[in-house]
Amino acid sequence: MNSVNSHRHAKLYRYQLPMDSGVVLRDNKLNERVGYIIQLECDGKTGFGEVAPLPGFSQEDAEQAGIQLQHELELWNHNNPQTPFDQLYPSVAFGFSMAMMELRGELNAEGNYQAAPLCTGDPDELIPVLNEMKGEKVAKVKVGLYEAIRDGMLVSLFLESIPDLTLRLDANRAWKPEKAKQFIKYIAPSLRQRISFIEEPCQKPEDSLAFAIDHGVAIAWDETLQEAVRSPEFDLSDLTGVKAVVIKPTLIGSVERCVAIIERAQQLGIKPVLSSSIESSLGLTQIARLAQQYLPDEVPGLDTIGLYQQQLAVSWPGCQLPVSTLEQQQLIWSS
HEC letters along 232-243: CCCCHHHHCCCC
Instruction: Spell out the long-range contacts of 309-315 with Cβ–Cβ below 8 A and sequence spacing 24 or more.
Output: 309/17, 309/18, 309/19, 309/20, 310/17, 310/18, 311/280, 311/281, 312/15, 312/17, 312/37, 312/280, 312/281, 312/282, 313/37, 313/48, 313/280, 313/281, 313/282, 314/281, 314/282, 314/285, 315/281
pLDDT value for 4: 46
Q: Which residues are annotated as a binding site?
A: 170, 199, 222
Domain with CATH 3.30.390.10 in the chain: 8-108+323-334
Residues 100, 113: Cα–Cα separation, whole Å: 22
Other Cβ atoms within 10 Å of 268 Cβ, number: 14
> What is the topology classification, in CATH, of domain 123-306?
TIM Barrel (3.20.20)
The 8-class DSSP code of residue 328 comes to G
The whole-angstrom separation of Cα 245 and Cα 251 is 13
pLDDT along the chain (335 residues), means of 10: 64 97 83 97 96 96 98 96 96 98 97 87 82 86 92 94 94 96 96 96 96 96 96 93 97 98 97 97 98 96 94 96 98 96
221 burial via Cβ count (<10 Å: 0-12, 13-18, 19+)? buried
Please name the fold of domain 8-108+323-334: Enolase-like; domain 1 (3.30.390)
Gap between the Cα atoms of 135 and 125, Å rounded? 19
Q: Is 55 helix (H, G, I), strand (E, B) or coil?
A: coil
Q: Which residues are annotated as a binding site for Mg(2+)?
A: 170, 199, 222
223 residue type, one letter: E
Question: Which residue type is seen at 284?
Answer: L
Residues catalogued as catalytic = 142, 248
| 51 strand-pairing partners | 36
56 HSE (CA, 13 A, CB side): 12
Q: Where in the chain is the domain with CATH 3.20.20.120?
A: 123-306
Which strands make up the sheet holding 165-170, listed edge to edge?
137-142, 165-170, 195-199, 219-221, 244-247, 271-274
pLDDT at position 2, please? Answer: 44
Judge contact between 162 and 195, C-beta under 8 A. no
pLDDT at 135: 80
Torsion on CA atoms 16, 20, 21, 25, rounded to nearest 10: -80
The predicted pLDDT at position 25 comes to: 84
Q: What contacts 70, CB < 8 A, 6 or more positions away?
A: 12, 332, 333
